[in-house]
Chain A
Amino acid sequence: MELFLHQLLAGIATGGIYACMALAVVMIYQSIDHFNFAQGEMAMFSTYIAWQLLAWGWPYWGAFAATVALSFIGGVVIERTLFKPIRNAPVLSHIVVFIAMFSILNSVAGFTWEYTIKSFPSPFPSEPLFGNRLISAHDLGMIGITVVLLVLLYVLFRHTRLGLAMRAAAANPESARLVGIRVGWMVALGWGLAAAIGAIAGMMIAPIVFLEPNMMLGILLYGLAGAVVGGLTSPVGAVIGGFAVGIVENLAGTFIPVIGKELKLTIALVLIVAVLMIKPSGLFGRTAVSRV
């Protein structure tokens, strides 16, 4: 029983990482209507920027805020320069440009900061909270930040005109133009937000997995699994999905002997496929109902 509890809490802790990433995934999906494979690399790159600022002696929260701001601008700039010119190209061309971005960011990060593992500080106290050792202060802090982000996004999307305009632009660009929405800028804004959230996710994850250019691919997959499990159209679902993936991963790894450490990534695969089989729009996602 104690082992179970321990693994459950560990699952919630890692689930926080995935939830954070899943949120970024859903964010970009909401604004551009497809999935950005370079998102993990963007987050990794942002984290390196934070690391660099810290190395130059910036205070943590100063570096944090600057990184988020820079990432936001970077996201907008990437959309305006790389993706605006190919707006009308087939989806596959976009995917190839994502792949190109992936290799550029990964390569430049490795070239600039080298491929050696770096440690990244946590803003939260390192001593165990309330004397328990099951879940660290960093884990709790990370979960807290995820929840705060979620609430902010919820307010943005459900209760502001800007959020409504962004959703409309993603769902039906042509009609959005017909009500006067500047669709191009909404998409760019979505990129900016996704990049900023990714940066936060990266800075929260880096103290746990350490900083290196390839830190994000596995996490992106888990984040993806979380987003799909929860439903790509629902930020709340994505966060719950992220936690669910973390918990299932830990419990399955401990209690199902064949799985162990080796197959953890495969769990994500099985989860994605299983959920998609039963409920193609995810557990919390809304199906677009439309009449022909």
Chain B
Amino acid sequence: MAAREDIAEVAAPRVGGLTFPAWQRLLTVGVLIVGLAIPLFVRNFTVFQLTLVMIYAIAILGLNLLTGINGQFSLGHSAFYAIGAYTTAILMDRFGVPYALTLPVAGVICLIAGFLFGLPALRLEGLYLALATFALAVATPQLLKLSLFERWTGGVQGIVIVKPDPPFGLPLSQDQWLYYFTLAVLVVMFAAAARLISSRTGRALKAIRDNPLAAKAMGIDTALYKSLAFGVSALYTGVAGALGAIVIQFVAPDSFTFFLAVSFLVGMVVGGVGSIPGALIGGAFIMFVPNLAEQVSKGLAWAVYGVILILVIYVMPTGAAGFVRLVAGRVARVVSSNR
């Protein structure tokens, strides 16, 4: 089913006196420092775009927890993203809740929604699950437009929300502040995901992915864990949606189409299924590559995008993470054989 790639399970050849995990830690710190410095040197619009990259990365990580770690498919994560976004928008707009407080609420609501969707989805395997979630994605904009909920959702018009100012009179622009806010959320959620994957629960989820029958025989409550995986996955994507609403200052039904769900999937595969850092690469891909395609040809932008996508899959069938691992493995072999 899914590509079996786990960043934590790589053999550790030494390169330049450091093991692979050590290189990883070094790289993580490096990326973090660069991440902290960037907003001080680039335009506000670029800061805004990079914030979106991080938001997509969180959403993709959510999908990854489901697909990469637990082996379940979803083409419907735009629905959870939408639930997260609308939760925040409604709380801020109708109830005046501060934006930071809406994130946990959005997360919990999505956790419940994901768990509940995961329960019936338990009976569905692979393709059938993909179909059910595909339908969910297509139906989401329609449900959001429903006149029944218009009092809260604002119907087709959606909801406009106010961009928050930096607190404590920090000398930052709104965009810069939201960037740092998102970065903080991202670091917490990525760290939590890494913890989850290497925990007992993570092992159980992986066991279910690799051999459901054996997992059951070992006494793992597969039903509970699979629903839970769905819930946690939805939580991540929902928090991303909430952040997205705050940063874009606007939610409307047509922002949450099937297309968004597909983008998450593309980001996950391009970044590398099951890879945590890969989610960031995936986020960057779905943020920037469509723009790039549009620069190549305005009329045929999506055709160009499609061609790029096919090339990426041909060159890196296991995504960026798999590609990096492959290259790192080669380098390690060359280095060690030269000794």
Taking residues whose C-beta sits less than 8 angstroms from the other chain, chain A's interface range is 35 or more
Q: Taking A104-B306, A265-B138, A265-B142 as contacts, is the C-beta distance between A280 and B317 under 8 angstroms?
A: no
The CA-CA distance from A100 to B146 in the complex, in Å, is 31
The CA-CA distance from A86 to B314 in the complex, in Å, is 7
Chain A contacts with B in 53-96, Cβ cutoff 8 A: 82, 85-86, 89-93, 95-96
Q: Taking A107-B303, A262-B145 as contacts, is the C-beta distance between A89 and B310 under 8 angstroms?
A: no
A17 contacts the other chain (Cβ, under 8 Å)? no
Closest partner residue, chain B, to A224 (CB atom): B131
Which residues does B use to contact A, with CB under 8 Å?
Answer: 1-3, 67, 73, 120, 123-128, 130-132, 134-136, 138-139, 142-143, 145-148, 213, 258, 262, 265-266, 268-270, 273, 299-303, 305-307, 309-310, 313-314, 317-318
The CA-CA distance from A228 to B128 in the complex, in Å, is 8
A157 contacts the other chain (Cβ, under 8 Å)? no
Closest partner residue, chain B, to A277 (CB atom): B120
Residues of A within 8 A of B310 (CB): 82, 97, 100
Are B265 and A221 in contact, with the CB atoms below 8 A?
Answer: no
Known: A111-B299, A262-B142. 19 other contacts (CB 8 A): A82-B310, A85-B314, A90-B273, A95-B265, A96-B269, A97-B309, A97-B313, A100-B306, A100-B310, A101-B306, A103-B309, A104-B306, A108-B303, A262-B146, A262-B147, A266-B142, A269-B135, A276-B120, A280-B128
Tell which of B135, B265, B269, B300 touches A224, judged by Cβ atoms closer than 8 Å.
B135
Are B313 and A217 in contact, with the CB atoms below 8 A?
Answer: no
Closest partner residue, chain B, to A90 (CB atom): B3
Residues of B within 8 A of A8 (CB): none
Q: How far is the CB of B118 from chain A (nearest CB, A)?
A: 12
Are A99 and B265 in contact, with the CB atoms below 8 A?
Answer: yes
A272 contacts the other chain (Cβ, under 8 Å)? yes
Tell which of B132, B145, B268, B306 touches A273, judged by Cβ atoms closer than 8 Å.
B132
The CA-CA distance from A272 to B133 in the complex, in Å, is 10
| 27 contacts across the A-B interface (CB closer than 8 A) | A35-B127, A37-B134, A82-B310, A89-B317, A90-B317, A92-B269, A99-B309, A100-B306, A100-B310, A100-B313, A103-B302, A106-B302, A107-B306, A221-B138, A262-B145, A263-B146, A265-B138, A265-B139, A265-B142, A269-B135, A273-B120, A276-B120, A276-B123, A276-B124, A276-B131, A277-B123, A280-B124
